């Protein structure tokens, strides 16, 4: 099942408990921890958020500043966690580029077929013409659609198609914040801490105007799929999370001809973003997370898990906020007035409890530090 529109829990980003997490991670370099930050061990499924809150209420993290960071050890250091060492692959690229345009066959068929039961049609604003997208798309199906590499070649005529993330520099310490959409951000006062990072990654709707004190005001990377996409400021990278080949057709259209207005739901006909900053999430990286980290629990990983591991592979330090239930156990977005929403827990697409355990296990291994919000 694909995300069901803008009112759905997919706007949370992660369907996993979006525990307000402070991650300080690096695939190769430094890991830091804020002074007094709690270390959290393994927790049984369903209890992660509640126990995390109980263990960390005494820690005052409301006004932690970037200069309070102290280096501890490298996340990539071997021997800290056999589980992490066995599963972590520093060489796989989270970005789909010209260099890895051809997916391995097992990845391609998994990516195409995991939503094969969905029927997604796209409506064209005008009849397709020669010299537009070069694709006449009336109704999408995996068997009739152009291959992903064919569509990507057209997309890479519009966007750079290169990874902006270079090789590791031992003198660099790139600090990143991954900001989920949990209601536990409200009243947490994390805004200044979030804004004090080099990269700030947000997911789906994620409004900031009016929520600056708790959620921050700056964004450098925004992860969305077509049905949740919105216009972005010129200094923000749009990272497309594609669930189907049609999503690649849509982004090509939205940045050029505007032919596509509908997939399985209405989508933006034109998208105002910086074309030079558009990136595409790599399905091979998607499957890597599904195989090694969530180990096929749920139909596929939540968007939150995708962004979390994206950060693990491109950043030296990563703080992640706004994941999980609030202190009362409620699941809702920080911009919602209804504390008792949270139907996403019932979708069955992702295994929220298992994903929470993965986060807890990363904490127990000393790879991350978790903060609960309010």
Among residues 18, 190, 350, 354, which one is catalytic?
350
Rounded Cα distance between 283 and 290, Å, is 10
**Cβ atoms 194, 215 nearer than 8 A:** yes
With left for phi above 0 and alpha for psi between -120 and 50, is residue 370 left, alpha or beta? beta
- 300 belongs to the catalytic site: yes
Pairing of strands 70-74, 175-179: unpaired
Using CA atoms, how far apart are residues 116 and 113, in angstroms rounded to an integer?
Answer: 5
Q: Name the helix (H) or strand (E) containing 170.
A: none
Residues in the chain: 374
| 3-class DSSP assignment, residue 245 | helix
Specify the DSSP element, H or E, that contains 202.
strand 199-203
Per the CB < 8 A criterion, the answer to whether 107 and 58 are in contact is no
Q: What is the DSSP letter of 46?
A: T
* Exposed/middle/buried for residue 59 (C-beta within 10 Å: 0-12, 13-18, 19+): middle
Catalytic residue among 225, 264, 300, 354: 300
Measure the CA–CA gap between 36 and 56, rounded to whole angstroms: 10
Other CB atoms within a 10 A radius of the CB of residue 271 amount to 22
Closest CA to 261 of 123, 140, 120: 123
Question: Which helix H or strand E contains 224, and what residues bound it?
Answer: strand 221-224
Question: 282: which 2 tokens?
Answer: 């790599």
Helix (H) or strand (E) holding 190: none
List residues with catalytic annotation: 300, 350
């Amino acid at each position: 099942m694909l995300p069901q529109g803008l009112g759905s829990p997919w706007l949370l980003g992660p369907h996993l408990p979006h525990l307000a997490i402070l991650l300080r991670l690096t695939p190769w370099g430094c890991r830091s921890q804020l002074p007094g930050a709690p270390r959290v061990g393994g927790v049984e499924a369903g209890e992660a958020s509640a126990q995390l809150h109980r263990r960390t209420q005494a820690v005052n993290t409301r006004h932690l500043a970037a200069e309070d960071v102290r280096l501890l050890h490298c996340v990539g250091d071997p021997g800290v966690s056999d589980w992490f060492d066995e599963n972590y692959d520093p060489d796989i690229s989270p970005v789909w580029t010209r260099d890895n345009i051809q997916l391995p066959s097992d990845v391609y068929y998994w990516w195409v077929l995991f939503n094969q039961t969905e029927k997604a049609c796209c409506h064209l604003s005008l009849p397709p013409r020669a010299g537009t997208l070069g694709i006449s798309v009336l109704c999408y199906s995996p068997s009739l659609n152009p291959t992903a590499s064919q569509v990507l070649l057209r997309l890479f005529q519009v966007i750079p198609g290169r990874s902006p993330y270079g090789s590791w520099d031992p003198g660099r310490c790139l600090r990143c914040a991954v900001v989920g959409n949990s209601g536990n951000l409200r009243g947490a006062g994390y805004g200044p801490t979030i804004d004090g990072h080099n990269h700030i990654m947000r997911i789906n709707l994620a409004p900031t105007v009016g929520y600056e004190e708790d959620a921050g005001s700056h964004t450098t990377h925004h992860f969305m799929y077509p049905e949740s996409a919105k216009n972005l400021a010129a200094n923000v990278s749009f990272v497309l999370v594609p669930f189907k080949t049609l999503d690649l057709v849509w982004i090509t259209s939205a940045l050029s001809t505007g032919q596509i207005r509908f997939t399985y739901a209405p989508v933006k006909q034109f998208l105002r973003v910086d074309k030079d900053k558009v990136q595409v999430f790599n399905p091979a990286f998607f499957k890597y997370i599904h195989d090694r980290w969530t180990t096929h629990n749920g139909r596929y990983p939540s968007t939150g898990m995708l962004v979390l591991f994206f950060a693990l592979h491109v950043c030296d330090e990563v703080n992640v906020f706004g994941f999980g239930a609030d202190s009362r156990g409620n699941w809702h977005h920080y911009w919602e007035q209804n504390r008792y929403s949270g139907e996403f827990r019932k979708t069955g697409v992702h295994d929220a409890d298992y994903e929470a355990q993965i986060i807890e296990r990363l904490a127990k291994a000393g790879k991350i530090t978790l903060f609960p919000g309010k």
